[in-house]
Chains A and B, each alone.
Chain A
């Protein structure tokens, strides 16, 4: 923590400058207050405050932009969360994967990333026998791996095959994404970034080097980019028939 000089030790001009700045800030705040909220301010949360149900984090995937051959989101996720292959693809952890959809009648092929859909009515949370699967107030579905017993009911319950089980000892995990043997894991929406006001790694990677098919934000904030796009464009849930109210929506499927 940087040390703030005490008010009474400041020279007179410095005190005057501070008073002026305080007044300016107060006036500006008042001018902004009626109906006008800065975008970043509306999303920021002090880290010492609990997450709020006034926010619901969500993702919109534009499948018309998602391209064949691109797996930047998958690579970014692996790098961000320290996910390494054990050389056994059937059992390696996958928090996000690319899926190919082909219309059986027309042969039309499209691609989309599949990840934890962060459902409002999450089947994984329903079936967890120990309460390790839970949904945070801001809509992020997580596994509390402190109490997960590794029974994998949640993996069976998930219609999206979004969860993975860690069956081997892991080494060199990254501090911001603890993972370990005997527990189930899935996409966390990069909760460590989101808590600090940033976007998930896949979204940043897709925007920086890829087609920019992923939009992330607070779906309950009418001023957010994702809320505006959801209001303007067609989007749907995968397996909407299950009425899970997913936090990930797809445009163009």
Chain B
């Protein structure tokens, strides 16, 4: 057994040296560097239109998801909105049309969020539901209320209906008592 431990003692400094070498080799690579010197090029973020973000850029880089999670719960459960901090506001400032006039797809690296997330190997699904580009609500539609239908959208007069026209929607129709599922 003593022979074995002596063997171990002999290897300990070597191992430490190897670890130190690994640290010095990898350490600086992990820190932010100007693009081009690392193995993976750093993302180039599209410039935002606003003057400044809701928090300093460095803070946002590390904590934006905590902010988003906290405030989405405030909005969903309590109906509270913090001015300038909804996901719509983020999009309005950070997403711009491409030179060809198209909006970048949320899965494209030209999309603000995806630029960094591709680099950091983070996958998000925000934009499977949320709109990924600013949308201006037409009159009557959206948060400002009003009649969303165009002015000429009049109901069909009863006289025009042929037989069976009462099937207004193709969903199963309740026949008096009980549901009508097929």
Contact = CB atoms under 8 A, between A and B. Distances in A.
B50 interface: no
Contacts of B88: 175
A228 interface: no
A70 interface: yes
Per DSSP, chain A at the interface is loop
Interface stretch (B9-17, B27-35, B59-67, B161-169): B161-169
Interface in B73-89: 74, 76-83, 88
A48 B153 contact: no
How many chain A residues sit at the interface, stated as a range, is 35 or more
A173 interface: yes
A47 interface: yes
A234 B7 CA distance: 94
Interface string B122-139: 000100111100110100
A42 B130 CA distance: 32
Nearest to A145: B129
B141 A136 contact: no
Interface string B147-173: 111010111111011000111111101
B79 A69 contact: no
A94 B72 CA distance: 25
Contact of B128 (A89, A90, A174, A180): A180
B156 A69 contact: yes
B140 interface: yes
Contacts of B176: 101-104
B56 interface: no
Contact of B79 (A72, A180, A195, A199): A195
A198 B145 contact: yes
Interface string A133-147: 010111000101110
Contacts of B131: 172-175, 178
Per DSSP, chain B at the interface is loop
Given A48-B80, A102-B176, A69 B165 contact: yes
A163 interface: no
A100 interface: yes
A176 B137 contact: yes
A48 B125 CA distance: 27
A79 B148 contact: yes
Contacts of A72: 149, 153, 155
A109 to B, nearest CB: 8
A184 to B, nearest CB: 12
A125 interface: no
A181 B128 contact: yes
Contacts of B177: 104
A191 B79 contact: yes
A167 interface: no
A198 B165 contact: no
Contacts of A22: none
Contacts of B182: 90
B129 A69 contact: no
A207 B145 CA distance: 13
Nearest to A190: B145
A193 interface: yes
B29 to A, nearest CB: 35
A5 interface: no
Interface of B: 72, 74, 76-83, 88, 91, 125, 128-131, 134-135, 137, 140-149, 151, 153-158, 160-161, 165-171, 173-177, 179, 181-182
6 contacts: A49-B80, A101-B174, A101-B176, A196-B145, A205-B147, A205-B148
